[in-house]
Amino acid sequence: MPARRLLATLPAVLVAVVLIGHRAVPNTAGRLGSLVETFLPWLGLAVPVLLAGAAWRRSRPAALATLLPVLAWLVQFGGHLLPGDPGTPELRVVQHNVSDENPDPAATARALLAGQPDLVGLEELLPEAVPAYAGVLDAELPYHAVQGTVGLWSRFPLRSAAPVDIRPHDLGADWNRGLRAVARAPRGDVAVYVAHLPSVRIGAGGLASTRRDESARMLGELIAADPVPRLLVIGDLNTTADDRGLRPIGRLMTGPPADFAFTWPAALPAARIDQVLARSMTVTRLRALPRTASDHLPLAAEVG
């Protein structure tokens, strides 16, 4: 193949390589690897751009080369498009960052109950809003625990509810965004963590995720040492399941199901940064629930 034709195929080859080998993208400059992994499914949008370029150049090799990113995308995400049979779940879990600017907490709480959950984890839960949430949720989920700005409501009795320290080293003692409780579920105890990891920012220098990654490492250490075998992590983790920044937690948990279930931003969801992760259990289905007054969509999970 002449060098000119070979060069025309390189963009498609590069996209395919990144899709399959995203773990090899370095994270040294601007956390580029984490940034790519956060929005990895959207690399599929490169295919129509590549096809348009091939048509403009009238390059058959370039057009044929677009099959490579198509196949790579299908390998990574094709299962997300197939119908599944998750079976009858043991637990239904709803996760929601309710927003500290939510003007109608009661309406948000009612929307969450529509998913018939057994467990509900909330973040950005302001102290003055707790009575409004409890006034609705307690009717179906009579047991709850609140620590700082995170809360857990449960259909089952809770014990050992306590804050967990996932605070990055440079934040003050008033930063309290983690809790742990043990839910006495019908098939046995389940340790439940509700966590809100620090936010990230995307700027000229790339992805600023140092605090989030530190908090994720701290949470991973707590999970690794937890004596209760069955365990759930519910929260706004400010990262997707593909992001290597979540590896300290994700390596301890079973893999998420093949569902996109994007939750952020609510107006035009582009990523699932809200998570329900399980150890010694399996999350069999994820789906985003209808929009509330928050800038996140609620996430419903079925756990078996």
- Spell out the SS3 assignment of the chain: CCHHHHHHHHHHHHHHHHHHCHHHCCCCCCCHHHHHHHCHHHHHHHHHHHHHHHHHHCCHHHHHHCHHHHHHHHHHHHHHHCCCCCCCCCEEEEEEECCCCCCCHHHHHHHHHCCCCCEEEEECCCHHHHHHHHHHHCCCCCEEEEECCEEEEECCCEEEEEECCCCCCCCCCCCCCEEEEEEEECCEEEEEEEEECCCCEEECCEEECHHHHHHHHHHHHHHHHCCCCCEEEEEECCCCCCCHHHHHHHCCCCCCCCCCCCCECCCCCCECCEEEEEECCCEEEEEECCCCCCCCCCEEEEEC
The answer, yes or no, to whether residue 8 has pLDDT greater than 80, is no
pLDDT band at 86 (very low <50, low <70, confident <90, very high): low
Clarify whether residues 95 and 236 are in a common domain. Answer: yes
Is there a domain that residue 86 lies in? no
Clarify whether residues 123 and 190 are in a common domain. Answer: yes
Clarify whether residues 125 and 183 are in a common domain. Answer: yes
The answer, yes or no, to whether residue 110 has pLDDT greater than 60, is yes
Clarify whether residues 289 and 177 are in a common domain. Answer: yes
Select the more confidently predicted residue: 64 or 190: 190
The residue among 29, 48, 81 that closes a domain is 81
Is there a domain that residue 40 lies in? yes
Clarify whether residues 29 and 169 are in a common domain. Answer: no
**Residue 3: what pLDDT?**
61
Q: What are phi and psi of 119, to 5 degrees?
A: -135, 140
pTM for the model stands at 0.90
Clarify whether residues 75 and 23 are in a common domain. Answer: yes
Between 43-57, 100-114, 135-149, 157-171, the lowest mean confidence (pLDDT) is in 43-57
Tokens of 94: 């709803």
The answer, yes or no, to whether residue 96 has pLDDT greater than 90, is yes
Between 27-36, 86-95, 226-235, the lowest mean confidence (pLDDT) is in 27-36
The residue among 46, 81, 116 that closes a domain is 81
The answer, yes or no, to whether residue 288 has pLDDT greater than 60, is yes
Is there a domain that residue 275 lies in? yes
**Residue 79: what pLDDT?**
81
Containing domain of residue 43, as a range? 3-81
Clarify whether residues 201 and 287 are in a common domain. Answer: yes
**Residue 85: what pLDDT?**
65
The answer, yes or no, to whether residue 81 has pLDDT greater than 90, is no
Note the pLDDT tens digit of each residue in 117-150: 999 999 999 999 999 999 999 999 999 999 999 9
The residue among 54, 81, 108 that closes a domain is 81
Clarify whether residues 156 and 288 are in a common domain. Answer: yes
**Residue 29: what pLDDT?**
73
Q: Which residues pair with 119 in a beta bridge?
A: 93, 154
Torsion, Cα 254 258 263 269, to 10 degrees, reads: 150
Clarify whether residues 125 and 239 are in a common domain. Answer: yes
Is there a domain that residue 52 lies in? yes
Clarify whether residues 215 and 98 are in a common domain. Answer: yes
Q: How many domains does the chain have?
A: 2
**Residue 296 CB contacts under 8 Å (≥ 6 apart), including other chains:** 96, 97, 99, 236, 263, 264, 265, 266, 273, 274
The answer, yes or no, to whether residue 269 has pLDDT greater than 80, is yes
Clarify whether residues 58 and 107 are in a common domain. Answer: no
Query: What is the average pLDDT across 217-230?
Result: 98
Query: What is the average pLDDT across 259-288?
Result: 96
pLDDT band at 219 (very low <50, low <70, confident <90, very high): very high
| Distance separating alpha carbons of residues 162 and 176, to the nearest angstrom | 11
Q: Are 112 and 121 in contact (CB under 8 A)?
A: no
Q: What percent of the chain has pLDDT over 70?
A: 96
**Residue 162: what pLDDT?**
98
The answer, yes or no, to whether residue 1 has pLDDT greater than 60, is no
Clarify whether residues 58 and 103 are in a common domain. Answer: no
The answer, yes or no, to whether residue 33 has pLDDT greater than 80, is yes
Query: What is the average pLDDT across 11-36?
Result: 87
Using only the alpha carbons of the chain, give its radius of gyration: 21
**Residue 266: what pLDDT?**
97
Query: What is the average pLDDT across 27-47?
Result: 87
CATH number of the domain within which 266 lies: 3.60.10.10
